[in-house]
Amino acid sequence: MADIAVRHRTVEVDGITIFYREAGPVDAPVVLLPHGYPSSSFQFRHLLPALADRWRAIAPDYPGFGYSGLPDPSRFAYTFDAHANLLQRFVDTLGLTRYVVYLQDYGSQLGLRLAMAAPQRVAGLVIQNGDIYPEQHGPKYEPLKRFWRDPTDEGREQLAAAIGEEGFRREFLGELPDRLADRVSPDLWRLSGALVTEPLRRDAWLRLVADQGSTVAWFPRQQEYLRTHRPPTLIVWGPHDGYMPEGAARAYLRDLPDAELHLLDGGHWLLETHLDEVVPLVRDFLDRVQP
């Protein structure tokens, strides 16, 4: 019987302790799982063992998130650029040279930059509610876009007000229909909420949220990467998402016309509500790109 146990490990990357969850044989094809906001590798706690019989699934916590180190901002900037560079160094530190990348939420930005930095390493992409087409943004983006256009102190205070357990609860439940809401574990918002009671950590998260507008300039470059390299891609999407509705998923087909698209009856956090549907889709895709 295959060992599907999830292992909990740390590694030093540029002097920062990075915690990561890993499951599967060390010599198996790799699936890299960068997490979304406001979460950590905990969001992949069910997917990791579901893949571990045949693949090596690896989910790191970013600096300041989960169980990773919390370096001073003088050492680590807590911007998207800094996190993207750190993810690349994490991959190099573990010696990973070929992988499928799971792209969701903030993890889609970091994962795409990883793919762009070394396209030859990318066996495929799984895209799940991670958007790069601003004209398809949902209405929930508007408060963020106001801050991007005019980053005032007042706007920053409004962003800060959402960094806490109640704000996280709203993020995780989002626009889910009531019939699905009880599938989402309250551990998600309570664990994240407990972490940001520490002022330095809360400040680190605020720095990253406030920097989100910097990702917009990357969208055309990311679209060009997809058009040019055409990585094998599975798109699995929950359209009950105020940030990323159905159109945000379909927009990928402009640049990836051969991508496989599945719209499930869920929202932004499909691994909580539709794990039993996502897993066979991902396994079938991995069988084809990493046999």
CA dihedral of residues 270, 274, 39, 52 (deg, nearest 10) = -110
Paired tokens of 99: 């992988």
How does residue 291 score in pLDDT terms, banded at 50, 70 and 90?
Answer: low
In this predicted structure, what is the pLDDT of residue 290? 86
Rounded to whole angstroms, the Cα distance separating 144 from 150 reads 10
Q: Which of 76, 45, 15, 59 is nearest to 201 (CA)?
A: 76
146-191 pLDDT tens trace: 999 999 999 999 999 999 999 999 999 999 999 999 999 999 999 9
Q: Is the pLDDT of residue 92 over 70?
A: yes
Phi, psi of 94 (to 5 degrees): -80, -5
Residue 93's pLDDT band (cuts 50, 70, 90): very high
pLDDT of 43 strictly over 80 = yes
Q: Judge whether 266 and 236 are in contact, CB under 8 Å.
A: no
* Residue-range domain boundaries for the chain: 7-139+215-289
In a 13 Å sphere around the CA of 184, the CA atoms on its Cβ side amount to: 23
Rounded to a whole number of angstroms, the CA Rg of the chain reads 18
Strand order in 122-127's β-sheet? 7-13, 16-23, 56-60, 30-32, 99-103, 122-127, 233-237, 260-263
CA 25 to chain centre: 23
- Tell me the pLDDT tens digit for each residue of 24-35: 999 999 999 999
pLDDT tens, position by position, 109-157 = 999 999 999 999 999 999 999 999 999 999 999 999 999 999 999 999 9
Q: Distance between CA 51 and CA 67 in Å, rounded?
A: 23
DSSP string, 53-93: TTSEEEEEPPTTSTTS----TTT---SHHHHHHHHHHHHHH
CATH of domain 7-139+215-289: 3.40.50.1820
The chain-wide mean pLDDT, for the chain, equals 97
Q: Tell me, yes or no, if the pTM score tops 0.75.
A: yes
Helix axes 165-173, 187-195, angle to 10 degrees: 150
- Omega before 139 cis (within 30°)? no
Do the beta carbons of residue 62 and residue 20 sit within 8 Å?
Answer: no
Q: Report DSSP letters for 241-291, one per residue.
A: -SSS-HHHHHTHHHH-TT-EEEE-S-BS-HHHH-HHHHHHHHHHHHHHH--
For residues 77 and 207, the answer to whether their CB atoms sit within 8 Å is yes
Tens-digit pLDDT profile for residues 207-217: 999 999 999 99
The per-residue pLDDT for 141 is 97
**Res. 1 pLDDT band, cuts 50 70 90:** low
Residue 264 clears pLDDT 90, i.e. is over it? yes
Give 87's contacts (C-beta < 8 A, 6+ positions apart): 34, 60, 62, 110, 111, 113, 114
List the alpha helices (DSSP H) in 196-239.
Answer: 199-210, 219-229
- pLDDT classification of 2: cutoffs 50, 70, 90: confident
